Amino acid sequence: MKPWIILIALGIAITEPVRVAPIAVDLELVLAVDVSRSVDAEEAALQRTGYVEAFRHPSVIDAISHGRLGRIAVAYFEWGAYGDTNLVIDWTLIKDKVSSNKFADLLRKNPRLVASRTSISGAMDMSAALLDSNNFNGKRRVIDISGDGANNSGDLVDQARDRTIAKGITINGLPILNQREGPSGQPQIAGLDLYYRDRVIGGPGAFHIVARNFKDFSRAVLRKLILEIAGIMPTPPLSRDQARSGRWHGLGGNSLLIRVGEKPMAPPCHIGEQRWRQRRGYGPGGWMPQFPQQ
């Protein structure tokens, strides 16, 4: 007797595997963190601490709760050379203070990867794969890449960027300006912020915020997460002429350069952010993201 006939005779139903519908979220966010050889143990700890503190911060939790659905999905991994990655926290639904603090607790406890070389292109490929294979359906899909060096392993970074944004994914960046010499005794790349602007970030509303050093990372990542979660693009500091004319500008269309700690000339406000709030229904009488004092 054939096996399926036996199963029917025993009253055991033959069914299709149960398919769980994707969970709708406001944002699918991948946090890709550089732990290559140029990042020592203290600097790696500062990065972890920055994310831990950010997900415990009331402003981040407030930004999540004020999304259309009030929930986001986040995955966090560390990377070095191409293929050398460590998925620290798989996809996690964050919707309130409890779930955000739980994510931060897991991040604080889990061990870090010790890696070699720097493959930003590999981080992009890993991030895109995570976004394509999860069980969430986000209105926006964003990769957040932080690091202190240029791509030196794997595919060319702009090629990886182009195939990633072709999927409708936005790549944001958090370059860390590091004056310390690398393991080989060579200085870190000059103009890393411009490298990220021109070669790394891309996609709808892409931007990057610059950390002046690893100790500045916590401040930079907090502001960046608030902007990403709220879906608001920042604006760069204004020149004198632009301030007088009242115009605000972006570098390369949607690609914006932000240096944490720099003050705009005048007026002393974030004009671009205000316009985005107005377009999205934010403003007087409504919710506006709260940024800690710089």
Quick: pLDDT tens for 61-88. Answer: 999 999 999 999 999 999 988 888 989 9
- pTM, full prediction: 0.76
> Count of alpha carbons within 13 Å of 24, Cβ hemisphere only?
5
- Distance between CA atoms of residues 73 and 136, nearest Å: 7
- How does the average pLDDT of the chain come out, rounded? 77
Asked if residue 6 is part of any domain, the answer here is: no
pLDDT the model gives residue 254: 37
Range in 45-59, 236-250, 257-271 the model is least confident about = 257-271
Judged by DSSP in three states, 175 sits in strand
Query: What residue ranges in 72-230 does DSSP mark as E strands?
Result: 72-79, 85-94, 136-147, 170-175, 207-210
- Distance between CA atoms of residues 209 and 226, nearest Å: 12
- Distance between CA atoms of residues 294 and 262, nearest Å: 9
Q: Domain with 206 in it: what CATH number?
A: 3.40.50.410
Q: Is the peptide bond before 267 cis (omega within 30 degrees of 0)?
A: yes
| Structural domains counted in the chain | 1
- Distance between CA atoms of residues 32 and 132, nearest Å: 15
Does the CA dihedral 117-122-123-129 come out positive or negative? negative
Confidence of residue 229 (pLDDT cuts 50, 70, 90): very high
Asked if residue 244 is part of any domain, the answer here is: yes
- Distance between CA atoms of residues 245 and 239, nearest Å: 10
Asked if residue 11 is part of any domain, the answer here is: no
Quick: pLDDT tens for 175-226. Answer: 988 766 555 555 667 788 899 999 999 999 999 998 888 788 889 999 999 9
- Distance between CA atoms of residues 127 and 142, nearest Å: 9
* Residue 60: domain span: 27-279
Which residue, 110, 54, 24, is CA-closest to 228? Answer: 54
Asked if residue 191 is part of any domain, the answer here is: yes
